[in-house]
């Protein structure tokens, strides 16, 4: 693990009040009997899993979703006692670990259930293993593909009543953030066809992610998995601008100028000499780079200094990048990579659009070397 740059003026500033507000708004739109599980995989989408979990609890979250078992164990070790669901596939050899920590696991095959059932039968358990059956209704990632496969799995679960508990069933929509809802409807019909063979419904039925909860009124579920919108970002980027409530972005990224020089016309900057000054100009160096999560492809993107747009000139280095300044600025002048400066603002979506990706990748890409500062 990288050393955290506590002695360097570069930080992700996380506004916990914004996260609280976003979750609270999502919670208020739900039926009283619908649970909200906050998704805090990938270190809370880069915001810090434990800090987000604690504020989510205060905002009314009933439980949490993570991607891998290690993330769930981190929460347990931090004293989080609410339900936790691992959304990815976990090795059945680890079923006992999950059961003893009251961590629910996702299952997508009868073979997994059979193997876990054998292992649990011969284990010392503090309780049953809670399982959620994943249904592949069109995402094409994990899960049962046919109702027959699902029926077989339900039969296997009945063979292990003392060690496994059928706690939940779910699917994931591939296009819930698209204005065209035809594929969404196709998937939802598939989900209903699956559910027709489930005679005894589990505690949790969940189909809604952030996008689904914002733009689709889906029947038949009693739990949502709230992801990106809790962090104040639109799941669709800018494809669907209309939102039922205002999302408050929780993350900003600031650092400083740590070196300034006056460069004469014709001088080149950075690896590969990809930028050559077309006039005499002030160039500032900024002490973060692609090892911190500022991609090399950010060359040409503008950051903010003193309310001015300042383009990144030359290639982003591993630990530094250079910017063209409108005038001479002193050492320590604030640089905003995501956030507000004067009348201007850069959002994670702005960065994502420049990189031809999505805001999820941008915020999950910040490395552990950047300290997190909580407000």
| Mean pLDDT score, 119-140 | 89
| Most confident range, picked from 37-41, 205-209, 220-224 | 37-41
The verdict on whether 41 is a catalytic residue reads yes
**Among residues 315, 260, 317, which one has the least CA distance to residue 285?**
260
Q: What are 20-71's pLDDT values in tens digits?
A: 999 999 998 888 889 999 999 999 999 999 999 999 999 999 999 999 999 9
**Among residues 89, 87, 139, which one has the least CA distance to residue 109?**
89
Could you tell me which CATH number the domain at 251-374 has?
2.40.37.10
pLDDT reading at 239 higher than 80: no
- Residue 218: the pLDDT is 64
- Residue 139: the pLDDT is 85
| Mean pLDDT score, 298-321 | 98
Beta carbons of 227 and 206 less than 8 angstroms apart: no
pLDDT reading at 165 higher than 70: yes
Question: Annotation-wise, does 58 bind a ligand?
Answer: no
Q: How far apart are CA 38 and CA 26, in angstroms?
A: 11
| Mean pLDDT score, 92-107 | 96
Beta carbons of 130 and 167 less than 8 angstroms apart: yes
Q: How far apart are CA 188 and CA 180, in angstroms?
A: 14
pLDDT reading at 215 higher than 60: no
The percentage of the chain sitting over the pLDDT mark of 70, rounded to a whole number, equals 95
pLDDT band at 213; cut points 50, 70, 90: low
- Residue 133: the pLDDT is 97
Please give the angle made by the CA atoms of 350, 356 and 362, to the nearest 5 degrees. Answer: 60
Q: What are 170-182's pLDDT values in tens digits?
A: 998 888 777 778 8
Q: Do domains 31-231 and 251-374 have the same CATH topology?
A: no
Catalytic entry in 17, 158, 265, 271: 271
Q: How far apart are CA 41 and CA 57, in angstroms?
A: 16
Q: Which residues contact 1 (CB under 8 A, 6 or more apart)?
A: 368
The verdict on whether 188 is a catalytic residue reads no
Which sequence spans correspond to the domains of the chain?
31-231, 251-374
- Residue 177: the pLDDT is 73
Question: Annotation-wise, does 29 bind a ligand?
Answer: no
Q: What is the pTM of this model?
A: 0.92
| Mean pLDDT score, 11-16 | 98
Could you tell me which CATH number the domain at 31-231 has?
3.20.20.10
Catalytic entry in 20, 27, 41, 204: 41
């Amino acid at each position: 693990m990288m050393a955290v740059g506590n002695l360097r003026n570069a930080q992700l500033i996380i506004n916990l009040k914004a996260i609280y507000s976003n979750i609270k708004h999502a919670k208020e739109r739900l039926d009283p009997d619908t649970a909200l599980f906050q998704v805090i995989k990938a270190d809370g989408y880069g915001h810090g899993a434990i800090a987000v979990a604690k504020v989510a609890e205060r905002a009314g979250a009933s439980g949490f979703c993570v991607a891998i078992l290690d993330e769930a164990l981190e929460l347990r070790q931090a004293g989080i006692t609410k339900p936790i669901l691992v959304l990815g596939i976990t090795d059945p050899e680890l079923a006992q670990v999950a059961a003893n920590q009251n961590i629910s696991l996702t299952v997508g095959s009868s073979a997994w259930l059979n193997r876990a059932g054998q292992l649990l039968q011969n284990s010392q358990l503090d309780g049953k293993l809670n399982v959620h059956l994943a249904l592949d209704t069109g995402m094409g990632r994990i899960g049962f593909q046919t109702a027959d496969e699902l029926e077989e799995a339900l039969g296997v679960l009945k063979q292990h009543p003392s060690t496994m508990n059928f706690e939940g069933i779910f699917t994931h929509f591939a296009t819930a953030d698209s204005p065209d809802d035809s594929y969404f409807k196709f998937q939802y019909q598939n989900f209903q066809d699956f559910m027709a063979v489930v005679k005894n419904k589990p505690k949790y039925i969940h189909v809604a992610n952030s996008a689904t909860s914002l733009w689709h009124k889906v029947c038949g579920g009693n739990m949502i998995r709230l992801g990106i919108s809790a962090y104040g970002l639109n799941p669709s980027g800018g494809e669907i601008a209309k939102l039922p409530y205002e999302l408050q972005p929780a993350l900003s990224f600031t650092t400083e100028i740590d070196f300034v020089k006056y460069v004469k016309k014709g001088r080149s900057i950075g690896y590969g000499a990809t930028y050559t000054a077309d006039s005499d100009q002030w160039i500032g160096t900024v002490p973060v780079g692609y090892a911190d999560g500022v991609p090399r492809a950010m060359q040409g993107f503008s950051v903010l200094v003193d309310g001015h747009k300042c383009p990144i000139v030359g290639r982003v280095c591993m630990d530094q990048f250079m910017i063209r300044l409108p005038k001479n600025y002193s050492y320590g002048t604030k640089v905003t990579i995501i956030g507000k400066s004067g009348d201007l603002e850069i959002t994670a979506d702005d960065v994502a659009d420049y990189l031809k990706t999505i805001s999820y990748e941008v915020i999950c890409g910040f490395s552990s070397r950047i300290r997190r500062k909580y407000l």
